[in-house]
């Protein structure tokens, strides 16, 4: 048991090198997925239990933008990773999410600073413009915390509900 505790602690130390933020938790109420010229496009709408508003996740192979109807602009965008986690913390891909029947957590994982280089950001901006986004790169993510700590917190909340 002591060895397991030590391994979990070491794993958390590694995972906690990444900062993350909770975007929302809720039930998926609409999914549109289409394929065009080798790209998978999707729009996923989630009824956010945290604030009662709707989250919309836009993807082109990867989740690129998240909007909350309560906010004037995106609450998450690439190059941050935008991830769906089931209540059991199982990660869902954009193609699997349409089959998810239980509430999900939507989290953002902050990208490494090198991914925010102007040339890389220009590439992301070009892709996001194709999705219809023409705004700036500033977003409101809320409070961040180490990724492992966020996952532990989500698992405790799930167990308590």
Residuewise pLDDT in 10s, the chain (161 residues): 666 667 667 777 888 889 999 999 999 999 998 988 888 899 999 999 999 999 999 999 899 999 999 988 899 999 999 999 998 899 999 888 888 788 999 999 999 889 888 898 888 888 888 888 877 766 767 789 999 999 999 988 876 66
Spatial distance between the Cα atoms of 67 and 109, rounded to a whole number of angstroms: 16
Q: Hey, what's the torsion of the CAs at 96, 97, 101, 106, to 10 degrees?
A: 140
Reference 11, options 154, 152, 158, 108; nearest CA is 152
Name the residue with tokens 């709707």. 54
H helix intervals, the chain: 2-15, 118-130, 147-160
**Angle, in degrees to the nearest 10, between helices 147-160 and 2-15:** 120
* Token pair for 52: 């009662």
Reference 57, options 86, 38, 85, 32; nearest CA is 32
- The answer, as to whether pTM is greater than 0.85, is yes
C-alpha dihedral sign at 147, 139, 57, 23? positive
Give me the pLDDT at residue 131, please. 82
Give me the pLDDT at residue 69, please. 93
15's CB contacts (< 8 A; 6+ apart) are 146, 147, 148, 151
């Amino acid at each position: 048991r002591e060895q397991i505790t030590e391994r979990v602690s070491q794993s958390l130390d590694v995972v906690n090198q990444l900062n993350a933020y909770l975007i929302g938790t809720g039930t998926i109420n609409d999914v549109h997925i289409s394929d065009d010229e080798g790209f998978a496009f999707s729009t996923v709408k989630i009824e956010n239990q945290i604030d009662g508003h709707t989250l919309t996740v836009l993807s082109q192979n990867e989740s690129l933008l998240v909007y909350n109807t309560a906010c004037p602009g995106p609450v998450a965008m690439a190059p941050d990773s935008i991830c769906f986690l089931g209540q059991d913390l199982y990660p869902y891909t954009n193609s699997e999410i349409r089959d998810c029947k239980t509430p999900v957590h939507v989290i953002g994982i902050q990208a490494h600073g090198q991914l925010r280089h102007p040339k890389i950001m220009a590439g992301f901006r070009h892709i996001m413009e194709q999705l219809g986004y023409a705004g700036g790169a500033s977003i409101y993510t809320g409070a961040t915390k180490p990724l492992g700590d966020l996952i532990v917190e989500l698992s405790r909340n799930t167990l308590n509900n």
